């Protein structure tokens, strides 16, 4: 059974950036995205502050965020990595299955990855995540390098938007349209 403690706050910087971006997108009427809470059961609390110091997860989480962008259902997970190599162990099989099912329902699934050591932020489309995932499942590398990612999906803060993932979504949709045209 997984437990939560202070290590559970890893990635909170990226999540705060995404939460602020989501607020901006909502204020502008561009998207409605919500953070999916992970249900926990407290085990130990500090009496004075009523702060949870130890808890266990009630169930496996799916993804960090879910919502709609201009009528398109989206779901995504936020991940941080200190090196330029992203371990696929940071993505769980139940998350892959959820994103796969979400895509079958004509939704758009992706990861937002912050390579904090290189200070680079990427939108990773689900189809690219699946290439790396399948490679690992078939005995290949259990990670991927930042250099393997398509630089057109590198996100750069602009006009006060910290994580401009709408740009990634637009590129993702364009690539999907091109792929459909080839079928």
Check whether 21 is labelled as a binding-site residue: no
Check whether 77 is labelled as a binding-site residue: yes
Work out the burial of residue 119: count CB atoms within 10 Å of its CB; fewer than 13 is exposed, 13-18 middle, 19 or more buried. Answer: exposed
Categorize the per-residue pLDDT at 183 as very low, low, confident or very high, splitting at 50, 70 and 90.
Answer: low
Beta strands in the chain, from DSSP E residues, in sequence order: 3-4, 31-35, 40-45, 52-57, 65-69, 72-81, 85-87, 108-115, 120-125, 143-145, 154-155
What pLDDT is recorded for position 56? 58
Check whether 70 is labelled as a binding-site residue: no
- Could you tell me the pTM of the whole model? 0.83
Which of the pair, 94 or 11, is modelled with greater confidence? 94
Place of tokens 């990670």: 143
Check whether 151 is labelled as a binding-site residue: no
Looking at the structure of the chain, the number of domains it has is 1
CATH of the domain at 30: 3.40.1350.10
Q: What is the pLDDT of residues 59-89, one digit of tens each?
A: 566 899 999 999 999 999 999 999 999 999 9
């Amino acid at each position: 059974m997984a437990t939560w403690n202070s290590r559970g706050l890893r990635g909170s910087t990226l999540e705060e950036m995404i939460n602020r971006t989501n607020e901006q997108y909502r204020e502008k009427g561009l998207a409605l995205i919500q953070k999916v809470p992970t249900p926990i059961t407290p085990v130990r609390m500090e009496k004075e502050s009523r702060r949870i110091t130890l808890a266990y997860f009630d169930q496996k989480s799916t993804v960090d965020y879910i919502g709609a962008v201009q009528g398109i259902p989206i779901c995504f997970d936020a991940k941080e990595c200190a090196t330029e190599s992203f371990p696929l162990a940071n993505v769980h099989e139940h998350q892959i299955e959820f994103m796969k099912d979400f895509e079958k329902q004509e939704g758009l699934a992706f990861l937002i990855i912050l390579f904090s050591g290189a200070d680079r932020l990427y939108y990773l489309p689900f189809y690219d995540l699946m290439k790396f995932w399948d490679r690992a499942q078939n005995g290949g590398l259990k990670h991927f390098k930042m250099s393997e990612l398509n630089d057109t999906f590198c996100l750069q803060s602009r006009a006060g938007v910290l994580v401009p993932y709408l740009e990634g979504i637009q590129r993702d949709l364009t690539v999907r349209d091109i792929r459909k045209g080839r079928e």
